[in-house]
Amino acid sequence: MDTREFVEYTAILSIARTLFICVVLAGGSMVFSKDANELVLAPIERMNAKVQRIQKDPLQAMKLGDEEYRIELKKRQKEARRSKTFIERAKIWKRQGGQSEPLETVVLEKTIIKIGSLLALGFGEAGAEIIGSNMKGGDAGQANVMVPGKRVDAIFGFCAVRDFTTATEILQDKVMVFMNAIGEIVHGLVEE
């Protein structure tokens, strides 16, 4: 009995199966690496770039925070202009890939900016130099609080808002927006 044709056919099927498995594994690894790049590596690289910007100039955190706020505000305005029917919301949800909550990397990125903004706001320009020099230091997690100081000339001012309690009662939760607007005007005039 001659089984040569059967053996050849079986060998061809085995080769085809091996090639098919190789293609499926290669495709799967490409899809996995694409997802890993988009969901893990790219956000980490963005966070690293932001930390390096804050390291060079800690006051950059305020600018980064403002940029993020403007981008998010524009997004919200676009969403508000769109129709809010059930079908429209379903389309938007589907377009976003079914994600209703932000990814952890996005939350971490915003947290880094907020922490940097709070540090810059709390310590000001003089403290920004200290923070920057500590971030540039080689010791991870170590803060050198004994950075030598510098003598600076400064003018201190005091500004009081008249009838603040009345403004607080009228504006309620919008009082901080009001105070920030006043602070922005005063700081802008002082910087000039």
Q: Is the pLDDT of residue 135 over 70?
A: no
15-37: average pLDDT:
93
CA 125 to CA 119: how far, in whole Å? 10
> Given pLDDT bands bounded at 50, 70 and 90, which one contains residue 143?
low
- The DSSP H or E segment spanning 42 is helix 42-56
Q: Mean pLDDT, the chain, as a whole number? A: 80
Query: What does the block give as tokens for 135?
Result: 């971030």
> Given pLDDT bands bounded at 50, 70 and 90, which one contains residue 21?
very high
* Residue 60 near residue 117, CB atoms below 8 Å: no
